[in-house]
Structure 1
Amino acid sequence: MDRREALRSVAILLGTAISAGTTDILFSSYTLPESEKNAVNFSAEQIRTLTEIADVIIPTTKSSGGAKAAGVGKFIPMMVNDCYPAKQQQSFYKGLTEFEARTKKQYGKSFALIPLAERKKMLNALRQETLDQKTNKLPERADIAYFFTTVRDLTSLGYFSSEIGCTKAREYVQIPGSYDGAYPLKPGQKSWAT
């Protein structure tokens, strides 16, 4: 099974956890021409920002490492460059750039360097802005809303297709038995990864 087929399987497994737009791009990326790939270049600072955003979305817990431990910060730009058309890559990049500019204006430093409480506030505000954008449809907010939706989706996809996500955050049986779609979960049990 190649990487795209594996990601498609994970996207189906996660179901509504990933937006229709992201699912559509992942499925149609089979036909993405090489000239569309790598339309933007992410700096080391931007990758650190993506890593910290992902880690706020899926933090480390007592039972499993978070998105940072799973390497999601490098997964996000790789997926954007390899699977998204140039127009969407540029929209994502513009949204990331705008988000970083907001952070620097408000706190005087990069998102990766501000305290965790402030990171959470910024992402909650961005989440609300993205929800508002669905009804308001303001053109000047389109890129940042697209950025948030995509980073959220790719964080989930990257985490739950990683070894940590499959073996620590979910129940995992290396060699499962026969399929039983009605097998009961015990109270408090994690969902199955296999």
Structure 2
Amino acid sequence: MNRRDAVKSVAFLMGGALSATTIGVFLEGCQPSKNSSENLFSADQEKMLAELADTIIPTTKTPGAKAAGVGPFISLMMKDCYPEEAQKVFVKGLEDLEKNSKDKFKNSFVSLTPAQRTELLGKFREETIAAQKNDKDEAAKLQEKEAAELEKKPEKERAGNPMAAKKPVAKHYFFAIARDLTMLGYFTSEIGATQAYEYIDIPGRYDGCVDMKPGQRVYA
């Protein structure tokens, strides 16, 4: 199994923990975007990615995302796998993060303290949650409206009407993508698999139901 297949497998195992954008990327086969040959991030933004990931998964009893090389992983995945629209949203998010950092703390994001970075990302996280809820509510209202309009039409027109099969278009959110790729990069890295998880290099037979001790880490 190559790294891309491994990442795809972990993405499905995480399931609902991932955003619609990321799930969509893997369902579509993780195809390179048409801009994959271009430099998506500046040198300063590459440094930001490492610190951003390390803020999401910091060093605790185990090494954090920076030690696991998650920053370069995010850069590679965004460049090679995500659609152009998502790439633009992500780059704009990095620019907004840097601007917020300088406006609030008068310093670049990479120069902030861990507490300051956490505070800034917390703001982006709350804004993303609010935006996702609002978009979900708006999509539900639109579907209700379309369903009501469809009910008014004769039965022959309702049958096979494309309106009935409409699905809301998944929107891209900077923080959601950053969180997704940090999780994927970390838990498919050697550090994540062997130190954050309970790693058994020679697992033996498969047992689908194993009791875990209190405080024990999940198996890799």
TM-score bracket relative to the smaller structure:
0.7 to 0.9
Q: CA deviation at 1:13?
A: 2.6
Equivalence for 2:21: 21
Equivalence for 1:6: 6
What TM-score comes out, normalization by structure 1 length? Answer: 0.88
SS in 1 for 2:59: coil
When the two chains are superposed, the root-mean-square deviation of aligned CA atoms in Å is 1.7
Q: CA deviation at 1:90?
A: 1.2
Equivalence for 1:141: none
Equivalence for 2:50: 51
AA at the equivalent of 1:55: D
CA contact (8 A) 2:199 2:219 kept: yes
Match of 1:85 among 69, 83, 86: 83
CA distance in structure 2 between the partners assigned to 1:151 and 1:101 by the alignment: 17
Equivalence for 1:42: 41
Total equivalences in the alignment: 184
Q: CA deviation at 1:18?
A: 1.9
30 and 127 in structure 1: CA distance in 2 versus 1, 3 angstrom threshold: closer
Q: CA deviation at 1:27?
A: 3.0
- Describe how 1:42-191 pairs up with structure 2 within 5 A: 42-62=41-61, 64-137=62-135, 146-191=173-218
Deviations 1:3-40 (A, max 9, x none): 2211111112323322232022123144445x242455
CA contact (8 A) 2:32 2:79 kept: no
CA distance in structure 2 between the partners assigned to 1:108 and 1:31 by the alignment: 39
CA distance in structure 2 between the partners assigned to 1:96 and 1:163 by the alignment: 27
108 and 101 in structure 1: CA distance in 2 versus 1, 3 angstrom threshold: same
CA contact (8 A) 1:70 1:165 kept: yes
Q: CA deviation at 1:81?
A: 0.3
CA distance in structure 2 between the partners assigned to 1:30 and 1:154 by the alignment: 13
Identity %: 48
Q: CA deviation at 1:80?
A: 0.2
CA distance in structure 2 between the partners assigned to 1:7 and 1:79 by the alignment: 10
Larger Rg: 2
44 and 94 in structure 1: CA distance in 2 versus 1, 3 angstrom threshold: same
SS in 1 for 2:219: coil
CA distance in structure 1 between the partners assigned to 2:120 and 2:31 by the alignment: 36
Unaligned ranges ≥5, structure 1: 138-144
AA at the equivalent of 1:120: T
CA contact (8 A) 1:37 1:84 kept: no
Q: CA deviation at 1:182?
A: 0.9
CA distance in structure 1 between the partners assigned to 2:207 and 2:19 by the alignment: 27
SS in 2 for 1:168: helix
